[in-house]
Structure 1
C-alpha cells in the first residue's frame, strides 16, 4: 500500500466526518454551525459503524470494507486491483496490516515478499502505513469541531440511500475541495454516504457508504509468531 494512496483515502475519511454532521434537513432555520454540531454529536454516539467504498485515483481503483468500533478496535480489507490486497486488524491499541505477495514485493522486493509472507505487519507511530488507522478512529477524527466545514454547506435536496431517506448536502473547503454527503432523516442524523463530485469529466473520486451502526466488532489477533514489525521487513 503506497503512502500516497493511504493519504488520499485518509484525507477523505477526515472530510467525511465533517459532512456526516451537516444536518438532517428537518430544521431549515437552524444555522449551519448548529446543525453541524448536532450531527457531530450523533455520529460520536455510535458504538460502531461499517464503512464500505471505493476510490479512483489516476486510473487506479481501490475498494475497501472496514468495521470500526468507537473504542478503536477494527477489522477490514483493501483491494488495490492488480497491485494486490491487504487486511487490517486493530485491537487493544495494536494495529496489524497483512499484505499479499504483490504488495510485499512493491514494499521491499523479493526479500520482503519472502519474510512477510503469511505474516502480519505491526504498524507503529510514524510508520508509512499508519494512515490506515484513520479508518479505526471514529471519535478522534481531527475534523470534528475544527469549525471549517460549516462555512460553506448547501442543501442538495432529498434522496434515498440504501432504502433510507436522506438529506443531501454539498460541503466545500478551500483546503479539501467539495464533498457531497447524505445524512439519514428517518432516525438519528447519521451519515449514509459521502462522495467527492467528479469534476471536468474525471473518473477520479471516492464513495463511502455507512451501515451496521452499533453492531458488534469482533477482532481476533493472530499468534505472536505471525507478527513482525514493519521496520524489520524493510530491512530484510
Structure 2
C-alpha cells in the first residue's frame, strides 16, 4: 500500500499518485482532564501516551488485523483532480478496489492468487481506445502483467506498505495529538513524519485495539486537504467480484492506448 505518499501507491493507470510518523517526544503527549477519583477511562489512559507509544500501539494492532477496508480520496497537487478510492485487502494478498478519477472515469481492479485484473468503465475505455473498443470489451477484465505501467496499482493491496503502521521497521517520528471522534468511535490523534514520505495525521481507536481509524495528509490547517482515508471493517473477509467465464482478457489494452 505507495515513493508515493499515503495509504497507498501510484495509480499509474491514470497517471495519478496516491499519497498515502516522529521525534521521541517524552513530553509531547496531551493529557485528558481528570473526571474525578478512581481509575482513569481507556480514553484517558490513551491520551497520556507519548507519540512514539501511540505509534507502537497502532503498529501492533494493525499488524494483527487480517483485513481492512479503506475508503477515501486523494487530490493531485498539480491538477487539483480528486480521485476517490474504495479498497478492501487482506494479508493473503486478496484485494478488491473501485477508483473514480475526477474527469477521467471509473475503474476497478482485483488481485487474487497473485494475478492483477483491471476493468475500466465503458466511458474510460472509450476515452482510451474509442467507442468500438469500449463496446467490444465492455465488462471485460484485463490481466495486467508485472511489466505493465498499471502494475503499481497492486501496491495499494499490500497492507505492509501502509505508511508508518504497515512496516514496523520503518523510521518515523511521532508526536501525540488530540482526542476526538472518528465514525462514532473515540480516537486519539498522532502527528507522523518521515523524510521520505512527509507529514501525516493519524487517528487511532482510543478504546479496544488501537487500530488506525483515519489518516490525513499534513498537520494542523493542512489536514484533509489533499488526502484522507478511513479504515473500517477490520478482520472482515474480502469479497471479490464474480469473474464469469470468458470475462478475462489477456493483454494490456488500456495501457497501450494510454502510452
Indicate the TM-score class for this superposition, using the shorter chain for normalisation.
0.7 to 0.9
User: Which residue is equivalent to 2:89?
Assistant: 68
Q: 3-state DSSP class of the match of 1:148?
A: coil
User: Which residue is equivalent to 2:197?
Assistant: 176
Q: 3-state DSSP class of the match of 2:46?
A: coil
Partner deviation per Cα, 1:145-198 (whole Å, 9 max, x = no partner): 34321xx21111211111111110111222222111101111111000001137
Is 1:40–2:59 an aligned residue pair? yes
User: Which residue is equivalent to 1:20?
Assistant: none
Query: In the aligned structure 1, how far is the partner of 2:54 from the partner of 2:222?
Result: 32
Q: Contact 1:6/1:132 (CA < 8 Å) preserved in 2?
A: no
Normalising by structure 2, report the TM-score.
0.72
Q: Contact 2:13/2:153 (CA < 8 Å) preserved in 1?
A: no
Is 1:147–2:170 an aligned residue pair? yes
Partner deviation per Cα, 1:51-83 (whole Å, 9 max, x = no partner): 000111132111111111221112221111331
Normalising by structure 1, report the TM-score.
0.79
The 5 Å alignment of 1:153-232 reads: 153-197=174-218, 205-232=226-253
User: Which residue is equivalent to 1:19?
Assistant: none
User: Which residue is equivalent to 1:134?
Assistant: 155
Is 1:53–2:80 an aligned residue pair? no
Tell which structure's C-alpha radius of gyration is larger: 2
Structure 2 gap segments, 5+ residues each? 1-9, 22-28, 30-42
Is 1:101–2:122 an aligned residue pair? yes
Query: In the aligned structure 2, how far is the partner of 1:202 from the partner of 1:156?
Result: 13
Query: In the aligned structure 1, how far is the partner of 2:106 from the partner of 2:113?
Result: 24
Query: In the aligned structure 2, how far is the partner of 1:112 from the partner of 1:141?
Result: 36
Structure 1 gap segments, 5+ residues each? 16-22
Q: 11, 17, 25: which is aligned to 1:8?
A: 17
How far the C-alpha of 1:199 sits from its partner, in A, is: 8.9
RMSD: 3.3
Q: Contact 1:183/1:193 (CA < 8 Å) preserved in 2?
A: yes
Query: In the aligned structure 2, how far is the partner of 1:28 from the partner of 1:199?
Result: 20
Query: In the aligned structure 1, how far is the partner of 2:182 from the partner of 2:214?
Result: 7
Higher helix share: 1
Count matched residues. 223
How far the C-alpha of 1:128 sits from its partner, in A, is: 1.4
Query: In the aligned structure 2, how far is the partner of 1:47 from the partner of 1:96?
Result: 22
